Amino acid sequence: MVLYRTALITGASSGIGAAFARELAERGSDLVVVARRAGRLRQLARELGSEYGIAVEVLTADLTEPSGVARVEERAAAGVDLLINNAGMGTNGHFANLPVDGEEREVRLNVLAVLRLTAAALPGMIARRHGGIVNVSSVAGFQALPGSATYAASKAFVTSFTESLAGETHGTGVHVTVVAPGFTRTTMSGEGAGVPGFLLLDADRVVRAALDAVERGSVLVVPGSQWKAIGLATRHLPRPLLRAMTRRLNGAG
C-alpha cells in the first residue's frame, strides 16, 4: 500500500530533493517535482517514470519570486498527500558585509516559501484527514552561527514552525515532521567538500530518516548518531557558552 499517493517536492532537481524524489518513486508515490532548472527536472521525470512506472509532473518555479511561489501554491492547494519543503539556500560571510538583497532572497526561499506552501497544502490535508508535511531544516538552526547568521535564523524558524504545526495538527490524520541534518554529501551539489568524513551524511540516509519519521508521526528527526549528539549538545548547552564556542570555531576570537 502506498501511504502517500502524490508527493510535491521543492528543490527536486539535485541533492537531497532528488534523493527524496527517487525514494518516493521507489515507494510508489506519484510526484510533482519543483525547481528552477527545467532541464534537470525533465530528465529526472523521464528517469523515474521509466524506472518505477509512476507519474511525474514537472513544475518549474523560482521560489524566491512571488510569481513562482504562487504557481506552486496553486498546485499544492489542488491536492497533494505529501509536501516536502526542501528548497533552500545559504550565504556565507559577515552579515554587515553581505548584500542585503541576497539575504532577503534567502529568507524568501528558506522561510516565506515554506510558510506559504504549507498554508496552501495543509487545509486540504486536514479536511481529508490524511497527509504529511516534511520541512527540511538543519542542525544550524539549533545555534548561533557567525558567518551564516541569516541561514541559521531561517532554519531556526523552520524547526520552530514545524514543531508548532505538529501540535496544532495532532489528531487530525496529518503528520508534520522537521528533519535537521548536518553536513550532507550530495554528488550533484558538491556540498560537504572539506568536511571530515565522519561528519558527512549521505543524502539517501537523510531522506529515509525523514520519510520514516513522517510515516510514524515523529515530529523532529536528526539523522546520524554523530549529529544527534551535536544537536543535543547545541540545544542544551548554556547559550553564552554556545555563542563563545561558535565564535572561536569561526575565528572570531
As a whole number of angstroms, the distance between CA 178 and CA 36 comes to 23
**Helix, strand or coil, per DSSP, at residue 49:** helix
Q: Which of 142, 151, 157, 227 is catalytic?
A: 151
The answer to whether 117 touches 83, Cβ cutoff 8 Å, is: yes
HSE at residue 120, side-chain half, CA atoms within 13 A, is 23
CA gap 123, 129 in Å, rounded: 10
Assess contact for 84 and 134: CB atoms under 8 A.
Answer: yes
Active site residue 4: no
Q: Which residues are catalytic, by number?
A: 151
